[in-house]
Amino acid sequence: MRKLTDLLYGRGVTKFETNESFQLLIQCWSLIGVKSLKPYRFGRLLHMCFCWFLLLLCPLTFFMGYVHTLTTEPITIQLSLLQTAANVIGVPLKTISVAILRTHLRKVEPIFDNLDERYQSVAGREQIKDCVMTSSRIFASVGFMFHFYGSTTYLQALLTNSYPLSTWLPFIDSISQPTIRYWTHYIFEVFHIVFILTVQTAMDLFPAVYIRTLRTHFNLLTERVSHLGENPEFTDEDNFDELVDCIVTHQELLEAKNIVSSVCSITLFVQFVIAAIALCITLLNFFVFADTVQRVVTLLYYFGVIMQITPTCYQASMMEVDSAKLPDAIFHCNWLAMNKRSRKLIIYFIHRAQEDITFVALKLFNINLTTNLSIIKFGFSLYTFMNSMDFGQNLKELLE
């Protein structure tokens, strides 16, 4: 197992394998209790149970915290807590689906092992190494952004002598001594939020990481196909065998794509719906109610919500572009140098390669940048509609 710096900068003597792209993700799953640690021990099982307790507790504590602030906090704080509560509701749903389907998802790992064996050239191994670095950087950078937003929330609460998100903690809030109550509540809430942000990182980024690895092997296959028939040392039988192996590689990639799609379909559908709701609440708060400090925090949250779906949508869109290059590469290979049997097989290969490689969330939303922009536009459209109806201004006057 490589160190974090080796994954981020491609260091190490041994060759990089595609499955190392998932190393940070799997370690994160173990940290948050989605994947059990081996060998099984009482302490590790207790850690897993505690993680699931925190996970299942978060919708109740966040939503009840929002309810309790309806009579004590200004509207801008209420909306900030509401947008967070709406986002947090999806965390257990996504985590449960991944925990159930994780074994099915990891079936892609032996497929990638088989695919790696086909690429032993310097250029091929360099692309696999680049895939590992890119996947690790995506995971690390977006995770840093999520926790950076969390740190601004903790700092703001500390400076104003309040709680970061005013979650509901009845046993801690019943402590009679105010100083002990405040610091106990504050520390537990910070720990809980750090945990939730870590879960969000793993649940929102695993599709982007897996799709990025698929893109790498589609590009390797496209490059390999483009050189069919160009090796002067190959006989007709060798060219035929090479073509058959390319077709088998394509089928394995389609199998891996179907596995990844079946798992991320559920989590991305949940995230698309929640993102649309959270973005609308964020815009209403930003343009109508928030003061200067709260606008900064709200703007950071707005970009954080967008980053929950953008990496996966970008990778899925690029997957569509990369897969569309394969039929062109087949057509432009040196098929004139092949025999009649190989040419007939190439016609079959072109036909199969023309199938669109798309990812769909529960057969309702295409997972790509178009859907990503549509969700952002939906938030603005809904805000514009409410603004034209003077909803925000009327609500503000009513509360004042």
Stretch 177-197: mean pLDDT, rounded?
87
* Residue matched to tokens 């750090």: 194
Mean pLDDT for all residues in the chain: 83
Stretch 291-313: mean pLDDT, rounded?
80
91 contacts 194 by C-beta, under 8 angstroms: no
Look at residue 289 in the predicted model and tell me its pLDDT.
67
Look at residue 214 in the predicted model and tell me its pLDDT.
93
Query: Is residue 178 over pLDDT 80?
Result: yes
pLDDT tens digits along 32-55? 888 776 666 777 788 888 888 888
Query: Is residue 210 over pLDDT 90?
Result: yes
Range of lowest pLDDT (248-252, 274-278, 322-326)? 274-278
Look at residue 393 in the predicted model and tell me its pLDDT.
56
Tell me how many degrees the CA angle 329-331-336 measures, rounded to the nearest 5: 120
Gap between the Cα atoms of 258 and 136, Å rounded: 23
Stretch 312-325: mean pLDDT, rounded?
90
| Those residues with Cβ within 8 angstroms of residue 164's Cβ, 6 or more apart along the chain or in another chain | 150, 153, 154, 156, 157, 186, 189, 190, 193
Q: Is the pTM of this model over 0.85?
A: yes
Query: Is residue 370 over pLDDT 80?
Result: yes
| Nearest alpha carbon to residue 283 among 307, 305, 310 | 305
| Nearest alpha carbon to residue 400 among 288, 281, 287, 280 | 288
pLDDT tens digits along 100-152? 888 888 899 999 999 888 888 888 888 988 999 999 999 999 888 888 888 88
Query: Is residue 298 over pLDDT 80?
Result: no
Look at residue 213 in the predicted model and tell me its pLDDT.
93
Range of lowest pLDDT (52-56, 327-331, 363-367)? 363-367
Where is 361: in which H helix or E strand? strand 360-361
* Structural domain boundaries in the chain: 21-399
Return the axis-axis angle of helices 236-284 and 369-388, rounded to nearest 10°.
10
397: pLDDT confidence band, cut at 50, 70 and 90?
Answer: low
Q: Which two tokens mark 314?
A: 């970008």
Look at residue 111 in the predicted model and tell me its pLDDT.
92
| Nearest alpha carbon to residue 231 among 93, 90, 333, 160 | 333
